[in-house]
Amino acid sequence: MTRTAGELADYLGASLTGDRGANISGVASPEEASAEDLVYIDSPRHTDRAAKSRAACILAKPGTGIAGKALLAVPDPKLAFAKAAAWLLPASKPSAGIHPTAVVAASATIAKTAALGPYVVIEEGAQVGSGSWIEAFCFVGAGARVGEGCRLHPRVTLYANAQLRDRVEVHSGVVIGGDGFGYVFGEGRHWKFPQVGGVEISDDVEIGVNTAVDRGSLGNTRIGAGTKIDNLVQVAHNVEVGEHTILVSQVGISGSSRIGNYVVVAGQAGFGDHTIVEDKAIVGGQAGILPGKTIRAGEIVWGTPARPFKRFKEQFAHLSQLPELASRVRALEQKTGEKSGEKAEKKVV
Amino acid sequence: MTRTAGELADYLGASLTGDRGANISGVASPEEASAEDLVYIDSPRHTDRAAKSRAACILAKPGTGIAGKALLAVPDPKLAFAKAAAWLLPASKPSAGIHPTAVVAASATIAKTAALGPYVVIEEGAQVGSGSWIEAFCFVGAGARVGEGCRLHPRVTLYANAQLRDRVEVHSGVVIGGDGFGYVFGEGRHWKFPQVGGVEISDDVEIGVNTAVDRGSLGNTRIGAGTKIDNLVQVAHNVEVGEHTILVSQVGISGSSRIGNYVVVAGQAGFGDHTIVEDKAIVGGQAGILPGKTIRAGEIVWGTPARPFKRFKEQFAHLSQLPELASRVRALEQKTGEKSGEKAEKKVV
Amino acid sequence: MTRTAGELADYLGASLTGDRGANISGVASPEEASAEDLVYIDSPRHTDRAAKSRAACILAKPGTGIAGKALLAVPDPKLAFAKAAAWLLPASKPSAGIHPTAVVAASATIAKTAALGPYVVIEEGAQVGSGSWIEAFCFVGAGARVGEGCRLHPRVTLYANAQLRDRVEVHSGVVIGGDGFGYVFGEGRHWKFPQVGGVEISDDVEIGVNTAVDRGSLGNTRIGAGTKIDNLVQVAHNVEVGEHTILVSQVGISGSSRIGNYVVVAGQAGFGDHTIVEDKAIVGGQAGILPGKTIRAGEIVWGTPARPFKRFKEQFAHLSQLPELASRVRALEQKTGEKSGEKAEKKVV
């Protein structure tokens, strides 16, 4: 919708310099903006980019001066930009109702204000809350529950009894509630350990494309409120992820691990089973946490096996100089008349 | 279904102490059990948990004593628990028949006892065996074959001619028989190498959410009987995986690799093409096997490039002490009057 | 279709020895070929395999002699084999038309020669070009565009406004145009950064099973012509991948990275955000490129953090001998009477 610079300043609590009446109807980068797009700059280094932009209205830190633009001064322009975008560009939303091709079990409960797209399947006893939007080809298993204001993009599978609270957004290809990967070996084969637990996704969680969140084996798998999960992530059975935590793409978390609140896990990191990551820890990309290990609150870890980032850097710097260190040891051996213990270098890779 | 402790003891070959008539209708952890849930403990350390549980019936090792409970003594309580669960909780099963919305080609063969859910598509010449359950949105390509007693959860794709033997369970989002990733570079572009081979999944295989198993290029891709594959795993063209092998989540196996029987591959491990992993080997999480390498039978390997676990541990311990080792070399250089060869530490990360 | 050896020689520009009239109707490996299958050998080492094959017609390098076979001599037999396969085995293709179960918005434009399978959903304003084949359960979002001669295998999702040019092949489970993973942290929670950019897939791109390519946040995500992407790959928002580049399975590319032309990225490699990989670089399997780093044109890198392959090999060789190096330092300390600085080895894994 279109707002004025003045309305936006009021909404954001920003201090406005320039034309209060300038219209704003979208968001863009400075280079791609039209006159009505809002843009932001985070640093005075980008003042030129904003000055050259066609955008009439700029979000920037206090003290930024750009002639001929409406300037909205805020302490965190990127944050204000995200808030402004959510306000200016409300999510597209179909009209409520059930597409005639949807197959809805008689015992399912669909709120009147929910929207079900074509070829949605809702099984016995499932519930869909008010204002939720279930897009094409979604499968909501028996007894599963979708809260209020949720959005399931096309092709999401909720296994039986999966529970989603409110304002959960689930992207295409996600599967919530698949069986955990647990077997007991005996008599020459793998027997499936019972996978009869639940899975609960709390308020305001977003889950990216083709991610898998398994149900618990006996207990539950839980994702805390406000946590954001990227594409192609694996969350195994009985994992508990806290609130406002970030799991970047292709992260894998093994069974019964507990990830705290405000944790950041970078891409492709992997966790053995029964790991513990305390609040506000940061796990580097491709790091590997050994089974049963604990990462302390606020700690930053890297590498496989994961170790404190400072220690990793120090070791890696020394590793980089290892060929030189070996030469120095050789020189010492020659000087002291020690017979060299050096072997021929093996071809290893 | 509900059984008595006595019936369960007979089924498991367990030695029973206590009330033969106690009813058992489910399985649970000691903490979450109701009176009719079966629980197990693997070790005397957990005796207290079982004693405090509401469960009336406990699986435990011989010699475990808990007052007031029916005790089923077995050598491997966890294995017995898995078997008991499979017996007490038979998989849910719809009534046989084809949902009116399923699109089934005239030349497809569907067993009378099979169940096809809503919006299933079965193409020309495909076969579905007796007792198999194909859930919503599954696609069974032309000439593909699903054996007896299989279950395809919602949204499984079988490309044309994919072959599943009996009692195969395939989770939501799995794709079996996609084209292998093979190209020949020439004249400035990549030409697709023909991907015309097959894919065969043997008896009792289970495949987790969103996993991909490609067809062979000229030959076949094969998964052996009893092998279990977790979520988001990649099995490339012409790979052969043996029997009763475990592939944990996000493992990637490149083309023409051969993985033996009873192998365990931990999460996120990766295999170059034409690797060989012999029977009963164990590959650690995030390990990387170089193209063409062989892992010997029973070997345990770790790291990238993968090496024997013992060697990995030794190297890693020394790596951890590398900063100290460098200091010791510096001390030796000072003592012997050798000019230090040390360079300033480079910033590397 | 069936061709003669002579026709094939003409098509490939090959020099033919033997029966010009031999029929060829398929391709196979030497071991599995029937008389009418074309086979190839790349090296004189495989002459025996070809000689023993039932195949009547062999592609080989000039100078190869095999009695009783029609020999097609070409400088690159594997490339010729790939071209021959494409010529002999044209992709299966349904007759044009829209399956009666497809749900096509009134404002969508579907070319007359396009084929839409069962349960396809095409939303408002979307376009499907001539000769394109959209298989079962595909979702083409509002305003999305599929060019000419494309093939979407079953269960592909194109989010709104995703753009595919011509002859793009997309495998089952792929999602193109999902929201990028961008948030701004403030006031104790993550605010979604606007994900309103586009995604463009150029001519002749192939995308493997369950891969995710996100839309841009403000700008666009772009995949260049002729690039081939394997299964389960993650391409984040605003990434630009050049032409004729190869991304092997489970690779992950973080936001705003730029990958050049003719680059090869091996399996499970990961890229931090804002990385740059110049043309013809090669990134090894499981390598990790740190955020903001640049890989120079033609460079071969390995490891995490990624470094030149030669350097990686050298370091790794020294790492393998680190236990011995430590022993040598100990020996020097004993010889010189230096107090050993050695600590007890810590158990680290």
pLDDT in tens, C143-166: 999 999 999 999 999 999 999 999
Q: How many domains does chain B have?
A: 3
C208 Cβ under 8 Å from any chain B Cβ: yes
Q: What pLDDT, on a 0 to 100 scale, did the predictor assign at position B3?
A: 96
> What does the alpha-carbon distance between residue C71 and residue C69 come to, in Å, rounded to a whole number?
6
The reply to whether B260 falls in a domain is yes
> What does the alpha-carbon distance between residue A103 and residue A123 come to, in Å, rounded to a whole number?
8
Distance from CA of C112 to the nearest CA of A (A): 24
In the predicted structure, residue B18 carries a pLDDT above the cut 70:
yes
Distance from CA of B189 to the nearest CA of C (A): 6
Q: What pLDDT, on a 0 to 100 scale, did the predictor assign at position C242?
A: 98
Question: Could you tell me the CATH number of the domain that includes residue A65?
Answer: 3.40.1390.10
Do B170 and B81 belong to one domain? Answer: no
For residue B278 the two structure tokens come to 């012999």
For residue C48 the two structure tokens come to 């025996």
User: What count of CB pairs under 8 Å joins B to C?
Assistant: 208
At A341, the pLDDT band (50, 70, 90 cuts) reads: low
Which residues make beta-bridge pairs with A140?
A122, A158
Q: What pLDDT, on a 0 to 100 scale, did the predictor assign at position C92?
A: 78
In the predicted structure, residue B270 carries a pLDDT above the cut 80:
yes
> Can you say how many angstroms the Cα of residue B114 is from the centroid of all Cα atoms in its chain?
26
Q: Which helix (H) or strand (E) holds A186?
A: strand A183-186
Q: Which helix (H) or strand (E) holds B309?
A: helix B309-320
Q: What is the mean pLDDT of residues A325-333?
A: 92
Among the options C237, C244, C274, C318, which is catalytic?
C237
The reply to whether B229 falls in a domain is yes
Residue B340's domain spans which residues? 319-349
Each residue's pLDDT tens digit, A193-212: 999 999 999 999 999 999 99
What mean pLDDT value characterizes chain B? 95
For residue C247 the two structure tokens come to 């991304």
Each residue's pLDDT tens digit, A258-272: 999 999 999 999 999
Q: DSSP secondary structure string, B172-228?
A: TT-EEEEPP--EEEETTEEEEPP---EEEE-TT-EE-TT-EEEPPSSSEEEE-TT-E
Q: DSSP secondary structure string, C79-132?
A: HHHHHHHHHHSPPP-PPSEE-TT-EE-TT-EE-TT-EE-TT-EE-TT-EE-TT-
Q: What pLDDT, on a 0 to 100 scale, did the predictor assign at position C93?
A: 82
Residue B59 φ/ψ, nearest 5 degrees: -90, 130
Q: What pLDDT, on a 0 to 100 scale, did the predictor assign at position B349?
A: 52
> What does the alpha-carbon distance between residue A94 and residue A115 come to, in Å, rounded to a whole number?
7
- Find the distance separating the first CA and the last CA of chain A, reported in whole Å: 59
Task: Show which of C88, C118, C137 is a domain's final residue.
Answer: C88
The reply to whether A314 falls in a domain is no
A32 Cβ under 8 Å from any chain C Cβ: yes
Do B247 and B324 belong to one domain? Answer: no
Q: What pLDDT, on a 0 to 100 scale, did the predictor assign at position C191?
A: 97
For residue B180 the two structure tokens come to 């292998």
Task: Show which of B60, B88, B116 is a domain's final residue.
Answer: B88
Query: Is B286 in Cβ contact with A304 (below 8 Å)?
Result: yes
The reply to whether A10 falls in a domain is yes
Do A278 and A327 belong to one domain? Answer: no
> What does the alpha-carbon distance between residue A156 and residue C330 come to, in Å, rounded to a whole number?
61
Q: What pLDDT, on a 0 to 100 scale, did the predictor assign at position B335?
A: 87
Query: Is C204 in Cβ contact with B214 (below 8 Å)?
Result: no
Q: What is the mean pLDDT of residues B97-115?
A: 98
For residue B2 the two structure tokens come to 């509900």
Contact call for residues C126 and C147 (beta carbons, < 8 A): no
Task: Give B-chain residues touching A183 at CB under 8 angstroms.
Answer: 82, 228, 246
Do A218 and A275 belong to one domain? Answer: yes
The reply to whether B314 falls in a domain is no
Contact call for residues C212 and C229 (beta carbons, < 8 A): no
Task: Show which of B64, B88, B112 is a domain's final residue.
Answer: B88
Among the options B237, B244, B274, B318, which is catalytic?
B237
Q: What is the mean pLDDT of residues B202-209?
A: 98
Positions in chain C whose pLDDT score sits under 50: 344-345
Each residue's pLDDT tens digit, A137-173: 999 999 999 999 999 999 999 999 999 999 999 999 9
For residue C140 the two structure tokens come to 């083409």
Do C196 and C336 belong to one domain? Answer: no
Each residue's pLDDT tens digit, A200-259: 999 999 999 999 999 999 999 999 999 999 999 999 999 999 999 999 999 999 999 999
Q: What pLDDT, on a 0 to 100 scale, did the predictor assign at position A91?
A: 76
Helix spans in chain A (H):
5-12, 47-52, 77-88, 309-320, 322-336
Query: Is C186 in Cβ contact with A76 (below 8 Å)?
Result: yes
Do A131 and A250 belong to one domain? Answer: yes
In the predicted structure, residue B17 carries a pLDDT above the cut 90:
yes
Do A238 and A133 belong to one domain? Answer: yes
Each residue's pLDDT tens digit, A268-301: 999 999 999 999 999 999 999 999 999 999 999 9
The reply to whether C26 falls in a domain is yes
Angle, helices B309-320 vs C322-336, to 10°: value is 50
Q: What pLDDT, on a 0 to 100 scale, did the predictor assign at position B276?
A: 98
Do A186 and A79 belong to one domain? Answer: no
Do A295 and A191 belong to one domain? Answer: yes
Share of chain B above pLDDT 90, in %: 93
Report the b/e string of B228-251 with b at 16+ CB within 10 A: bbbbbbbbbbbbbbbbbbbbbbbb
Q: Please give the C-alpha separations between residue B268 and each of A83, B72, C268, in angstroms, as whole numbers.
A: 37, 38, 8
Q: Which chains touch B (3 or more CB pairs under 8 A)?
A: A, C
Q: What pLDDT, on a 0 to 100 scale, did the predictor assign at position A345?
A: 46
B237 is catalytic: yes
Q: What is the mean pLDDT of residues A324-328?
A: 92
The reply to whether C314 falls in a domain is no
Q: What pLDDT, on a 0 to 100 scale, did the predictor assign at position B347?
A: 52
Q: What pLDDT, on a 0 to 100 scale, did the predictor assign at position A347?
A: 52
Do B10 and B142 belong to one domain? Answer: no
Q: Chain A, 90-129: which have a CB under 8 Å from a chain B CB?
A: 103, 119, 121
Q: What pLDDT, on a 0 to 100 scale, did the predictor assign at position B91?
A: 76
Question: Could you tell me the CATH number of the domain that includes residue B172?
Answer: 2.160.10.10
Do B155 and B259 belong to one domain? Answer: yes
Which of A160, A214, A234 shows the shortest C-beta gap to B250?
A234
The CA dihedral of C275, C280, C284, C290, to the nearest 10 degrees, is: -10
Q: What pLDDT, on a 0 to 100 scale, did the predictor assign at position B92?
A: 78
Residue among A182, A163, A160 nearest A274 (CA): A182
> What does the alpha-carbon distance between residue C60 and residue C21 come to, in Å, rounded to a whole number?
18
- Please report the beta strands in B28-182, taking only residues with DSSP state E, as ranges in sequence order: 37-40, 57-60, 70-73, 97-98, 103-104, 109-110, 115-116, 121-122, 127-128, 133-134, 139-140, 145-146, 151-152, 157-158, 163-164, 169-170, 175-178
Q: DSSP secondary structure string, C4-55?
A: EHHHHHHHHT-EEES-TT-EE-EE--TTT--TTEEEE-SSGGGHHHHHHSS-
Do A7 and A103 belong to one domain? Answer: no
> What does the alpha-carbon distance between residue C44 and residue B164 come to, in Å, rounded to a whole number?
38
